[in-house]
Amino acid sequence: MPHVTRRRTLHIVGGLLGGMIGLALLLSSMFPLPHPKPYSTLIEDQRGRFVHAFRASDGIWRLKTLPAEIPPRLKRILLAREDRWFSYHPGVNPFALARALYQNLSSGRRVSGASTITMQIARMLEPKERTVGNKMLEILRAFQLEWTYSKDELLEMYLSMVPLGGNIEGLQSAALIYYQTPLERLNVAQLFDLMLIPSDPNGLRPDRNGEALLRERMLQAKRWLAEGMLTEADSVVLWNTPAAAERHALPRGAEHFALRLARRLPGTAVVHSTLDMDIQRKVETLLANHLRPWRLSGVQNGAVLVVENATGAVRAYAGSGAFADDASQGQVDAVMALRSPGSTLKPFLYAMQIEAGELTPRTVLLDTPYDAEGFYAENYDGGYDGLVHADEALQRSLNVPMVRMLKRVGLDPFEDFLAKEGFVSLQQQRGRLGLSMILGGCGVRLDELVPAFASFPRGGVWRPLRWTEDAPGDPSQEVPVFSTATAYMVTHILSGLERPDLPNNFDYAFTLPKVAYKTGTSYGRRDAWCIGYSSMYTIGVWMGNVTNRGNPDLVGSRSAAPLLLDVFTSISSIAEKGILRPPPNIRTRRVCARSGRPPGLYCSQLIDDMFIDRVSSTAPCTVCTEFLVSTDGKVTYCASCVGSHPYAPTVYAQYPPELVHFWKMHGVNKTLAPPHDPACTRVFAGEGPTILSPSEGMTYFITSPGQQIVLQAGSSVDVQDHRWYVDDTYLGKKRPGEKVFIALAQGPHTVACVDDRGRLSSVSMTVKNAM
């Protein structure tokens, strides 16, 4: 019989529990738990130091507060004061609730609320008028919270949401706003005050009612001192620390960086960023000081981005000289602005050609006037060298050799190469770019240029920028773009101390680490760039006006390079005396001084050159050629016409026709092979004249009646005459380099030029009326 009774009792209890659980589930579905309140966003640097904070979306300062940030003994006081049984009850303390109900009924008024910490959280999540119905809902919410969150999570919510005066919630917010000190560094009196303020958030505010807060502190502290939870040493601090405190604005460091991270990670309570505030402060100071004299000249803006090579982490980010400077539009983030890159893309064209085996530092490039598809390329200083070595062309940032190289490579392959380097902006401009892109005829961003240049010190591997410390780099996002040997060769060129674009006051020899860099100046002097890298960092500097106003003094080597070198000197170790170790396939060989190619049979003037084993071209020099020269030195013969003529085998350099024409036009005397015997009747194979104008595939617009188009071609020294044709109509005979002027009707035309050896060249063009 007792066994049956126990079984019946268990059934009844089980039924009651099941009914209660079912009722709770029903009520939870009818009254779902409100979402937690949004936190303010706190940006910390890589070492956990405060950088910037943003109010929560509801306008409240509600910084996340962790229980671990409060000393254990003060946490015990807080729990003893607010909810002694917090760790044990299910959200509601039934004994405290019964006691409060009895006291309130006995006195006829509300004298006790019996609210647990969990019930207080429920009230903070859903503030309502204090009625019996709302109290029952608060109890339901307390149960729901306990079912949903752990005790540590609930305590974290309480510490982060507790009201502390005005729009300040949470102990961490109050610590920073009232005391300008992180919570974990407050003294016992300040922490104790923060525990007292929630009982009367406006009446005990330290910035308004410091005396009232001090009285409450003295009153409450006596109890905890008597109970031994506060020590005699604590009492000294409690009696001697003023309670009054001013409300302060939170520090606003690295504003552009912080705004960018807040947009990238909306709703994130604490962002452990990659920023290094020590480096950030140095960069901001150097940028502000550098801009001060330039502003007198009309250059108002600048930006600096510092990236750690090994990780891709952003260590410093200055989007302007001063964020609060409205006069210079300091709130515009120039790191993200789309600007003309000037010459800063040239190293990537070199890397592409070196990787393909087509270029080495001492390769000889052509530097003469060049009309490419209607784009007339010229160098920065308006002059031409005729011939120049590749390393010197990049160090001097010559334009014409680069345009010729890009024409030979092709726009599409180069744009594909740059896509691997993370230039998203350029991919959005595809189809609208021409050869001028290598000189800055496109738009890129500083935060694209810097990670692209960082691929050089990484040995050819591109990696996206890293913004937070708790998001380690994803190896799957790394893109191998070129080899370590190519990276080493470009770095060798860009780190030469004999460069002409070193600042005039260059005196960094003993303090500056080994740095490779490239300057750039955009058309119209609107942008000045300098992007450089050491073994540890890659740094980008931009100078200009965000209004796009040009300035005649704005040049990369004078405006941006000095700041770049100052930043490197400030943040780098003196021990950094190298960037990349030479890989085993980097070697040295002798090449012809006239072509930069491995010597052919007739090359006599040789120089040293760096090359990549099994990659760099081994095709021999074709410039140095043996000619059969008449004994009087006036003509050359070929096998068809030499006959019984006396001759002497003589080696001459055989240069491109446009170079010979350039030298002739500029009065440069070069020892060239004599012309070929005019009596020779052989029809020669090979390339015909080099048509300099018009350009292949171009459309020419006629803007005035009778406007004429110029025809011009160059040839080698053995050519005496050119014969010109337009649409099979013979125009006449001219000497190489001599111009022909002709007015053409609208429509497509074919222009042909035949030299006196029967070799033909032709181009197609179109004429349109623009009048």
Active site residue 69: no
Give the integer Cα–Cα distance in Å for 491 and 516. 6
Positions of E strands within 47-163: 50-54, 61-62
Which of 343, 572, 695, 716 is catalytic? The answer is 343
Q: Which residues of 418-444 are buried (b: 16+ CB within 10 A; e: fewer)?
A: beebbbebbeebeeebebbbbbbbbbb
For 695, which DSSP code?
P
CA pair distance 200, 116, nearest whole angstrom:
17
Known catalytic membership, residue 82? yes
Whole-angstrom CA distances from 424 to 306, 338, 428, 464 are 20, 11, 7, 12
Which one of 28, 57, 82, 112 is the catalytic residue? Answer: 82
Q: Can you read off the two tokens belonging to residue 680? A: 């020779």
What separation, in Å, do the N-terminal and C-terminal C-alpha atoms of the chain show? 117
Q: Which of 464, 368, 405 is nearest to 656 (CA)?
A: 368
Q: Helices marked H in 305-410 — which ranges?
A: 346-355, 390-395, 400-409
Q: Tell me the pairing of strands 722-726 and 729-734.
A: antiparallel
d(C-alpha 372, C-alpha 407), whole Å: 8
For 6-56, the DSSP string reads: HHHHHHHHHHHHHHHHHHHHHHHHHSPPPPPPPPPEEEE-TTS-EEEEE--
Judge residue 398's burial from the number of C-beta atoms within 10 Å of its C-beta, 0-12 exposed, 13-18 middle, 19 or more buried.
Answer: buried
- SS3 for 400-416 is HHHHHHHHHHCHHHHHH
Sign for the pseudo-dihedral over CA of 392, 394, 396, 398: positive
Contact 630, 647 (CB under 8 A): yes
Which residues 6+ apart lie within 8 Å of 21 measured at CB?
none
3-state secondary structure 501-567: CCCCCCCCCCCCCCCEEEEEECCCCCEEEEEEECCCEEEEEEEECCCCCCCCCCCHHHHHHHHHHHH
CA 550 to chain centre: 23
Q: Return the HEC string of 237-287.
A: HHHHCCCCCCCCCCCCCCHHHHHHHHHHCCCCCEEEECCCHHHHHHHHHHH
> 443 in helix, strand or coil?
coil
- CA quadruple 582, 584, 585, 587: dihedral, nearest 10: 60
Annotated catalytic residues are: 82, 343
